[in-house]
Amino acid sequence: MNPSPLDLRYLKELTGSDERFLAELIEEFLVSANDLLDRMTALLAAEDWGELKLAAHALKGSSRSIGSSILGEIAFQIENESKRADKPGLKSLLSQAAAEYARIKTWWEGAAQSAA
């Protein structure tokens, strides 16, 4: 199995090893992160840098909270880069973020299947 994209130790500490709550959290994260990524794609296309920055910030916080340092780092970069209005750079960062999100999602679905 692929190494976990999330810091499970951190998550277990926070949730007190409550698997159900943890699952709930991860599900919530996946939904909200997906929404944010969709929004960010639309904002990039619209070149709304201010709103893009805010969305990236939100994704950063959410990702870090769920223990995904990679997605958090990418979101942080998008947040920083959005002031520079570097559309190609931001597009690349956004696809990296989508990829990392997909990796987390795949991992979670796999873990859920193995748990079932």
Partner 1 sequence: MRVLIAEDDVVTNKLLNRLLTKFGYDCQCVFNGLEAWNAIQNEHFPVVVSDWMMPGIEGVELCRRLRELKDRPYSYVILLTSRDERDDRFQALRSGVDDVLAKPIDLEELECRMAVGTRIIKMEHHLKEQNLQLEESRAQLEHSNAVLLTKQQEVERLLAQAERTSEYAQEANRRFEQLFGEIPVAGFSCDESTKIFEWNKKAEEIFGVPADRAVEKPMRSVIGKKLLTRKALDAIHAVFQGVPFVDQEWKAGDRVLLVSGYPMVGYNNKISGCLATAVDISQLRKIEAELRTKMKELRAANSKIEEANRKLSEMAVTDGLTKIANRRALMDRLAICLEQAERGQRFTLAMIDVDHFKKFNDEFGHQAGDEILIAVAQTLKSSVRKLDFVARYGGEEFCVLFVNASLRSAVKMAERIRKRISEIQNPYRAITASFGLAEHPGLPIEGDQLVRAADDALYDAKAAGRNRVAVRSIEFEEAA
- Which residues sit at the interface with partner 1, rule CB under 8 A? 10, 13-16, 21, 24-25, 28-29, 32, 54, 57-58, 60-62, 64-67, 72, 76
Nearest approach in angstroms of CB 95 to partner 1 is 23
Nearest approach in angstroms of CB 22 to partner 1 is 10
Nearest approach in angstroms of CB 60 to partner 1 is 7
Closer of 30 and 111 to partner 1 (Cβ) = 30
Spatial distance between the Cα atoms of 86 and 68, rounded to a whole number of angstroms: 25
Closer of 1 and 84 to partner 1 (Cβ) = 84
SS3 1: coil
Q: Is 70 exposed, middle or buried (0-12, 13-18, 19+ CB in 10 A)?
A: middle
Q: What angle do CA 36, 72, 19 make, to 5 degrees?
A: 85
